[in-house]
Amino acid sequence: FKRINDTYGHAAGDLALQVVASRLKGMARQEDTVARLGGDEFLYLLTELKSERDATLVAVKVLGALSEPCDMGSNNIVAMEGLHASIGIAIFPKHGGISADLIKCADEAMYRAKREKLGYSLAL
């Protein structure tokens, strides 16, 4: 979002956050939860997964949805390339028994995905 803010201004950055929230919410099942943790970080809580593979399939879908081009601007529409994300995945109870542990593991996996330019990474 720094690149968006620097290139198009903070209003466009705020709009980009709204686009991300809308796309994530639109993908979520009724039993799932999408929340903004702060800044440019979102939590996507999947419930009743059958396998870790299901979580990685959702991550791939999220990356695809975010990579779709979006329009920014108010009076002059500025066509932007898609947004890029790094996703960290933590699975209950394998990676933690409480939300704080799961978020910590997902955060570490997200930074690994970002560092290694993987798109997404499963917690170790």
List the catalytic residue out of 14, 40, 101, 107: 40
Q: What is the dihedral of CA 60, 62, 68, 74, to 10 degrees?
A: -160
Tell which residue, 71, 85, 111, has the closest CA to residue 1.
85
Q: Is 32 a catalytic residue?
A: no
Are 56 and 122 spatial neighbours (Cβ–Cβ below 8 Å)? yes
HSE on the CB side for 86, CA within 13 Å?
Answer: 17
Catalytic residues: 40
